[in-house]
Amino acid sequence: MMLDISKLVIVYPDKTKAVDKFSLTINTGERIALVGPNGAGKTTLMLAIMGVLPITEGHIEIGGIRVEKKTLNEIRSRAGLIFQNPDDQLFMATIYDDIAFGPRNYGLAEEDVRKRVEQTLLELDIIRLKERSSLKLSEGEKRLAAIASVLSMQPSVLLFDEPTAFLDLKARRNLIRLLNNMPYTKLIASHDLTFLEEVCGKAVLMKDGTVFAQGLPKDLFHNKKLMEDCGLEAI
Amino acid sequence: MDIRNKISAIYSLEQLSAGNTVVHRLHPMSKLIVTFVFIATVISFGRHDFGRLVPFIFYPTILMALSETPYTMLLKRVLIAIPFCLFIGISNLILEQDTAFKIGTIDVSFGVLSFSVILYRVYLCVMAVLLLVAVTPFIELTAQLRRLKIPNIFTLMFEMTYRYIGVLLAEAVSMRMAYVLRGAKAKGVDIRHAGSFIGCLLLRSFARAERIYSAMKCRGYMIKNTTLARKKFCITDITYCALICVLCLLFRFVDVGNWITTLVEKIL
């Protein structure tokens, strides 16, 4: 298995229990949709997987390596998180530097960094953005640049937090095509159910920090009673 | 000007650092050392040594030409610092009215001389720093500071402050727009709302900064990371360092400026 979350509990310093005994196993190459109302704990879960938030109870393993302080470097090279707002992820002077940020932090030689950046830009067909500043890109371009900044680290697992936020229909369509062509293991948190139906093979409904239901997206997202009980709207 | 352009203007100098001239290719440490030696030498002169400071113009002029950095871009930024030195130097004009020398029939007081030294010194030092930023990627600069054993807390603060200027500005502009659009004063924020406006701005910027820092950590950023840009210090870097440092020391201890002023006086 690629990602194993077992009885995970995350409690914030103000005692709020954001994630409560959450368990989930994702196999290599699987694409899982994570759906839940606002405040269900989706973003918290993703930050905990990346080792940004401390785990109160339970454990997370990525490719057999447990997420803990001493393994953070290894974990963050295996998993990549694409944030909801690309502006949070693009903070360097040029897109090249943003994409090179991760590989440079891992001590790659500048020549290897250049190769990786160019390979990633070509893969996403955004080589034209190489020397541009993120401040002057459209939201669709920013989203692709944010994905590139994570792909350049060559992770095995990709975590997406609301990837269709801020995107127009064309950019959303391009993103669907891109995600469907990516061979990575993916966990995608979103409120965009039709998007998730097109991209994911399995869905997990999350409520109050725990797993409410799981199954095929088409079975869950069209079940009016189940979705309403989870605090959501069916398609 | 649109907010994106304003923020972009702040970082435009850094964008020049992606160039590929002979100066850009130098080891960042050599550029850092040279800038430090240059500034230390310039500020070591007395307040009336204008003539001796004149030759130091060689450094920004040559570096600018070799790195193909646009002069107007640098000058605009130097001008930001000028009002501060005008404020500092203005008292010299009043307090030091004795004549230092004459240019033709015009008396030049010590006050004018020290005032000119302050302005010129600021010009040289700010130009040197701006050129360093224009020819060295910011990430490499901070990596070199860490290698020089500057405490991590200072380099981190330096990095974060630089990165968050844009964040703070963007938050301020979007908040002001929301304020104005709801029928408040078109110009600025009403004094009655200023407290909550600034408080809210700081809290929002803090939350945004937290998210950016999380994004940085997710891509392997560590406070103690010093593995960046391990370029080798080669013979070109040593030559560059040695040449500029020797010239700085030469101009510091040999009165080259005096030869120039004598020459100027003879011509006049």
Any idea what DSSP says for residue A127?
A: G
- pLDDT tens digit sequence for B17-54: 878 899 999 999 999 999 999 999 999 988 888 888 88
Q: Which two tokens stand for residue B117?
A: 């030294």
Chain A contact present for B187, CB below 8 A? no
* Mean predicted confidence (pLDDT) in B55-78: 90
* Mean predicted confidence (pLDDT) in A37-55: 93
* Mean predicted confidence (pLDDT) in B90-111: 80
Q: Give the pLDDT confidence score for residue B155 in this predicted structure.
A: 79
- Beta-strand relationship, A210-215 and A65-66: unpaired
* Mean predicted confidence (pLDDT) in B104-128: 88
* Mean predicted confidence (pLDDT) in A109-117: 90
Could you give the ipTM of this predicted complex? 0.77
Q: Name the average pLDDT for chain A.
A: 91
* Mean predicted confidence (pLDDT) in B181-198: 73
Direct distance between the N- and C-terminal alpha carbons of chain B, in angstroms, rounded to an integer: 47
- pLDDT tens digit sequence for A169-186: 888 888 898 899 888 999
> Is 60 exceeded by the pLDDT of residue B228?
no
CB-nearest partner of A102 from B7, B137, B220: B220
Q: How far is B120 from chain A (nearest CA, A)?
A: 30
Q: How far is A126 from chain B (nearest CA, A)?
A: 18
* Mean predicted confidence (pLDDT) in B180-194: 70
CB-nearest partner of A153 from B214, B219, B231: B219
Three-state DSSP state, A60: strand
Q: How far is A235 from chain B (nearest CA, A)?
A: 31
Q: How far is A161 from chain B (nearest CA, A)?
A: 12
Contacts of A89 in chain B (CB under 8 A): 212, 215
* Interchain pair B218, A80: CB under 8 A: yes
Check residues A74 and B188 and name the one with the higher pLDDT.
A74
Q: Cα separation of A36 and A49, whole Å?
A: 17
Residue of A nearest to B133 (CA): A93
* Interchain pair A104, B228: CB under 8 A: yes
- Whether residue B7 contacts residue B166, with contact meaning beta carbons closer than 8 Å, is answered with yes
Contacts of B7 in chain A (CB under 8 A): 135
Which residues face A204 on adjacent strands? A34, A214
Q: Name the average pLDDT for chain B.
A: 82
- Whether residue B39 contacts residue B128, with contact meaning beta carbons closer than 8 Å, is answered with yes
Q: Cα separation of B258 and B113, whole Å?
A: 15
CB-nearest partner of B214 from A52, A97, A101: A52
Please name which of A155, A83, A7, A49 lies closest in space to residue B216, comparing C-alpha atoms: A83
Chain A contact present for B259, CB below 8 A? no
Chain B contact present for A114, CB below 8 A? no
CA dihedral sign, ordered B187, B191, B193, B198: positive
Three-state DSSP state, A92: coil
Please name which of A4, A194, A73, A209 lies closest in space to residue B224, comparing C-alpha atoms: A73
Widest CA span in chain A: 56
Please name which of A151, A114, A153 lies closest in space to residue A130, comparing C-alpha atoms: A114
Chain B contact present for A1, CB below 8 A? no
Q: How far is B159 from chain A (nearest CA, A)?
A: 11
Residue of B167, B216, B218, B228 to mutate when probing chain A, most A C-beta within 10 A: B218
Chain B contact present for A101, CB below 8 A? yes
Q: Give the pLDDT confidence score for residue B224 in this predicted structure.
A: 53
Q: How far is B17 from chain A (nearest CA, A)?
A: 9
Which run of H or of E encompasses A18? Answer: strand A17-26
> Is 60 exceeded by the pLDDT of residue A211?
yes
Chain B contact present for A160, CB below 8 A? no
- Beta-strand relationship, A185-189 and A157-161: parallel
Q: Give the pLDDT confidence score for residue B5 in this predicted structure.
A: 66
Q: Give the pLDDT confidence score for residue B3 in this predicted structure.
A: 59
Going through chain B in order, the beta strands assigned E by DSSP cover: 99-103, 106-109
Q: Give the pLDDT confidence score for residue A131 in this predicted structure.
A: 86
Q: Cα separation of A226 and A211, whole Å?
A: 13
Chain A contact present for B218, CB below 8 A? yes
